[in-house]
Amino acid sequence: MNRKKFNVAVIGAGLVGRKMVDVLFERNFPLAKIEIFATRERQEIISGRPFLVKSTDESSFDGMDFVFFAGTEGEKGASRIFGWKAVEKGAIVIDNGGDFRMHPDVPLVIPEINPHHLKTHKGFIANPNCSTIIMLMAVAPLHEKYKIKKIIVSTYQAVSGTGSKAIEEIETQVHQYVNKQEITSSVYPYRILFNVIPHIGNLSDEFSGYYSEEVKMILETRKILDCQDIKVSATCVRVPVINGHSESITVCFESDPDINTCREILSSTRGVKVIDDPEKALYPVPIDVSGKDDVYVGRIRKNTAFENAIDMWVVGDNIKKGAAQNAVQIAEKMIEMSII
């Protein structure tokens, strides 16, 4: 067993960066030391421990084995400035941001699904988008048996995916509503309280009428599964939930899937839990899944409109498995595979 310990840097001290630190400690990652960097220096309590969060510059990567970039969806991440410079310093970069996911030299990895892609790494690995991770954890195990032809997915995405300011905004709107005040909004184009917004990201140039979050699910799915022929249609919606993304997924296969076999496959898949007893109203919901390591699947049933198709309801913690945990698992897998 590899018992070496590693020097780790986390770039970013927002929701995802803090969760990365939590996960590193929770999973007993073999740390020699851990340092946290952001845009400015300050003292912070993170994962119950005092940290001096330092300002990021090129010297931040000296002597580091792994550098985790927390990234922020919809923004140009620090990895654009510092990512490849960290690689030049000898570090393995694992980037949660979206800037390099489709770069041909950057593996895009969910460790339970395509760890073999890590063998071609050039020092820089990308974390998929949270919605893609949650979907593929449930879909990829079935692809191995039945071969996916197309996926139709609608997402119900929590405000934590936008960051701490979005959480603060919905909490403020609750306070304003209870106190019969005018409800104000600045993070989203509409108020999110008691509302849903079918708009995540910017409009795409590549797929007319699609927002960038939807395009990520299309392109990332094809790259991760090594299958450019899979057709994906996505509608991504922001909902008034604090944490935990939910997805309604229809999957069409080349061969006819057996529902009981699908349940058995998913029940035996590492990182997936099945809660599927609709007669007892048992299915996953985000309030129960928030904080959990696994992706949860329920409402598994034959689709009534398409041949060789099933429907399922999938829920996962977008900040944990959908971001921080997946990044740490990539590093763990690289250690396990002895490719660092």
Neighbours of 269 (CB within 10 A): 21
Terminal alpha carbon distance of the chain: 14
Instruction: Kindly give the pairing relationship between strand 245-253 and strand 272-274.
Output: unpaired
- Please state whether 325 falls in left (phi above 0), alpha (psi between -120 and 50) or beta: alpha
Q: Of residues 117, 130, 252, 262, which has the active-site annotation? A: 130
From CA 82, how far away is CA 33, in angstroms rounded? Answer: 20
Q: Of residues 117, 121, 143, 245, which has the active-site annotation? A: 245
**Backbone angles phi and psi of 157, in degrees to 5:** -100, 135
Whether 130 is a known active-site residue: answer yes
Neighbours of 264 (CB within 10 A): 12
> Helix or strand or coil: residue 293?
coil
From CA 72, how far away is CA 59, in angstroms rounded? Answer: 23
Which residues does the annotation mark as catalytic? 130, 245
